[in-house]
Structure 1
Amino acid sequence: MSDANNIPGGNADDAIPDDWAAALAEQKSSADGGGGRAQADTVRPMQPEDFSDIKTEPPSDVNLEMVLDVPVTISMEIGRTRIPIRNLLQLNQGSVVELDRLAGEPLDVLVNGTLIAHGEVVVVNEKFGIRLTDVISPSERIRKLR
């Protein structure tokens, strides 16, 4: 800041534009190289070929520990359906909603909403589980994302 607080009747807010003006003038003089001519004509955008001589090697020791603790949501989907809001509002206890799957068809296993496998429901120690019957290959998962 400047000495605006030391000037009788001066205000620190009045000094802000002066500080900006001084900073801009200093920046302009350094950009001119002191010679008064801007060097903007020598500046050009970078092109991909400018980086062609840079050699980067993949890291030899990839640390997956950080990724292994990231939580994901896994869900099983029995089926889906589309109904109008009018019918949705009429649902109550005991209502049956028809799904687009046949009885006995495998369930979809989704991780964060992405299909990764198919499976069937099992009961183990009085708890539901799923036995994976078909795991989608990583290349197939990537293809479905496009």
Structure 2
Amino acid sequence: MNDETENPDISSDDAAAEDAWAAALAEQDEEENNAPQAEPAELDEFTDPVPHVPGEENLDVILDIPVTISMEIGRSKISIRNLLQLNQGSVVELDRLAGEPMDVLVNGTLIAHGEVVVVNEKFGIRLTDVISAQERIKKLK
């Protein structure tokens, strides 16, 4: 029996298209089965041309990566109700005393403390205490 007698809804054009697709898929399967198989490559063992000395890493790769530095005067937690009531002239109490050093953050990580200075009519910060790399790593863990 042909396809037309098995399914009267399929025309001879549709049956021809199905036959063409079946032939194309069979040809593709045959090509895939006869294709040469990939073999693992033999690679030379990687050796570092400059021996690695701990503490003397080459940082040139990361020196041009931009980071965000920010200074934080202080923080405060308030409810959403109080937040919605803030308007011009409102005062928000911070968790720091006047004269305490500000936090210097790089990408949100504390790296130093400092005091506010004015240089050429612009605010700046003079670093008074820099957090050591070991202490910053300890805080990450």
Q: Which residue of 2 aligns with 1:96?
A: 91
Matched residue type, 2:105: L
State yes or no: 1:122 paired with 2:122.
Answer: no
Matched residue type, 2:88: Q
TM-score w.r.t. length of structure 2: 0.66
TM-score w.r.t. length of structure 1: 0.64
Deviation of the 1:20 alpha carbon: 5.0
Q: Which residue of 1 aligns with 2:59?
A: 64
SS at match of 2:93: coil
Supply the distance in 2 between the matched residues of 1:121 and 1:142 (Cα, whole angstroms): 27
Q: Which residue of 2 aligns with 1:74?
A: 69
Gaps (5+ residues) in structure 2?
A: 1-15, 38-44
Q: How many pairs were matched up?
A: 115
Gaps (5+ residues) in structure 1?
A: 1-7, 31-53
Supply the distance in 2 between the matched residues of 1:58 and 1:145 (Cα, whole angstroms): 32
Sequence identity (%):
66
Higher helix proportion: 1
Greater C-alpha Rg: 2
The Cα offsets for residues 21-68 of structure 1, whole Å up to 9 and x where unpaired, read as: 874x679xx8xxxxxxxxxxxxxxxxxxxxxxx896584486533311
